[in-house]
Chain A
Amino acid sequence: MVILKKIFPQYRQAQLKIQQMAFVLLAITLFFVLAGMFALMFLTSGLKNSATALEEKNALLIVTKLANSPEFSCGGAYGSDRVNCVDADKVMVLSQKMDIYSEFWGLKDIEVRKVYPEESLVICTFSNYPNCNSIKIKSSTDNNISGKYLENFVTLCKKKQENGVVYDNCDIAKLLVSYNEK
């Protein structure tokens, strides 16, 4: 190397130029890589927000129509056809089938809660039903539905018998749903 520099004095100058250029090129490459990474980050963060917004929109639209889906609806079982009417017996049965229905509506929690008469919360089980006021159809926690949830007023109906007479017993209730945030 030393001999080369002695024989060719321009060799040192060329080496310096190559070094300079290498640095410039490295800087340009780094700039593009960083710009690309930034663009990718911007894109993915936007995607995450979009996904959450879409989940919210989905839950909002589902909550208004869920009571009319066949697994919930009274249909014509309580006299005339009723819209936004939830069959209490059916949803009690449904709550036991959440291993099958867990992903069906894409919701985190689903609960039907009587709103009148106002009483302390008693969660329905097969042993205390119908002397309770909240049916947890799908529940991600043992506690009350929490986090971001949406609600819709529905009628909660069941057949009751008194002195051999069967009658329809309907209460005002809220259908509560929560969704997964991305």
Chain B
Amino acid sequence: MKRLNSKGFEMSFTWIFAIVVGISIFIFTFILVSKIMNTGNIASDAKVAKEISILFNPLETGFEEGKTSSFTLASNSRIINNCNTNGNFGRQIISTSQFTLGKWSTANVEVGSLNKYIFSNDVTEGKKFYIFAKPFKFPFKVTDLIYITSASDKYCFINSPENIENELSNLNQANIFVENCSNDNDKILVCFSGSGCDINVRYSNEAGSVLKNGETVYFETDALMYAAIFSNSELYECQVKRLMKRLDLLSQIYIDKVGFSSDSCDSNLNPTLIQLQAYASSAESSGELEQIKTLSKNIDELNDYARCSLW
């Protein structure tokens, strides 16, 4: 570079060439490094999502009524819960997004699972999460429902029936309160009588409806009541449809079992099981659960009095 006078410099072609190519290399390297970092983030998100999905396996209950556990992630994270009803079982879809270098990673990788039913808000944010599982019996055990809540979301159950209060107290989950919590402003209020709370539950004899964010969903059994409380309505309806698909297939297994074991022990449950299967396969929303529950109660009684019970 040559100094022309006090006002400026003359630049040789060599310098211009070096600067242009140098900048190009810098940009190229920057893009490459950011792409690698992005791939690393996506891989990390996918790994976390898969790990979360695997973490739910030990929650499969035997005959106990409810189980709670917790897990803590390395950084502040979002668990994105989704569901679809395609295929024989539908699919549970989990993806995660982590807060790294001052921004949320894009939740690109979805981890799917056919045998899990997870209920939560569509996005649950935090570092520590509580998971609570409860078997869903309709009338036989269909699966275990899993509820995820962030430790930062505190739920307060007001005027809950005694059985619910006892169950929640025994669970001892740190973000669920059943007593003396109505004055706390940062808690999500779940009311079993009255209105004006964040979540309003109409509960009678293990059935009823849940009003949340202006939308009403219906439940039968306590397991589905918790599901309706802890999830948004769209996810709840999707999971209910998936549960009915599983009920349909399990009914078929029991129908075939009756036929298969009729030599040693006949049980007269097939006509009602076929009816249950038909109801389950045609169920489109939680509003149809009531009639399926009525039938499932009849089947359960028949099973109890059968010479050989099926389940």
Contacts and interface: CB of A to CB of B under 8 A. Distances in A.
A77 interface: yes
Interface stretch (A108-116, A139-147, A148-156, A158-166): A158-166
B25 interface: yes
A121 interface: no
A81 B309 CA distance: 12
A76 B310 CA distance: 8
Interface string B87-98: 011000000000
Given A21-B18, A28-B25, A62-B57, A43 B40 contact: yes
B13 A92 contact: no
A29 B60 CA distance: 54
Interface stretch (B100-108, B224-232, B259-267, B284-292): B259-267
A5 interface: no
Nearest to A94: B253
A25 B261 CA distance: 78
Given A21-B14, A58-B57, A89-B261, A70 B63 contact: no
- Residue from the set A36, A54, A64, A93 with the largest chain B CB neighbour count within 10 Å: A93
Interface string B269-281: 0000000000000
B11 interface: no
B192 interface: no
Given A43-B40, A58-B54, A68-B62, A36 B32 contact: yes
A160 B264 contact: yes
A76 B36 CA distance: 54
Contacts of A47: 43, 47
Given A18-B14, A73-B141, A97-B253, A68 B260 contact: no
Interface string A48-80: 001100100110011011001111010111000
A77 B54 contact: no
A68 B63 CA distance: 9
B171 interface: no
A67 to B, nearest CB: 9
Contact of B47 (A50, A71, A97, A158): A50
Interface size range on B against A: 35 or more
B71 interface: no
A43 B14 contact: no
A22 B20 CA distance: 12
Tell me whether chain A's interface is mostly helix, strand or loop, or mixed. helix
Number of chain A interface residues as a range: 35 or more
B85 interface: no
B115 A104 contact: yes
A104 B87 CA distance: 11
Interface in B235-265: 249-250, 252-253, 256-257, 260-261, 263-265
A172 interface: no
B253 A90 contact: yes
A39 to B, nearest CB: 5
Interface string B1-23: 00000000000111001100110
Contacts of B89: 104
Contacts of B310: 77
A25 B21 contact: yes
Contact of A104 (B33, B114, B260, B265): B114
Contacts of A50: 43, 47
B142 interface: yes
Contacts of A22: 21
B265 to A, nearest CB: 4
Contacts of A43: 36, 39-40, 43
A68 B58 CA distance: 11
11 contacts: A36-B32, A40-B36, A58-B54, A83-B63, A89-B260, A104-B114, A106-B114, A158-B264, A159-B264, A161-B263, A166-B264
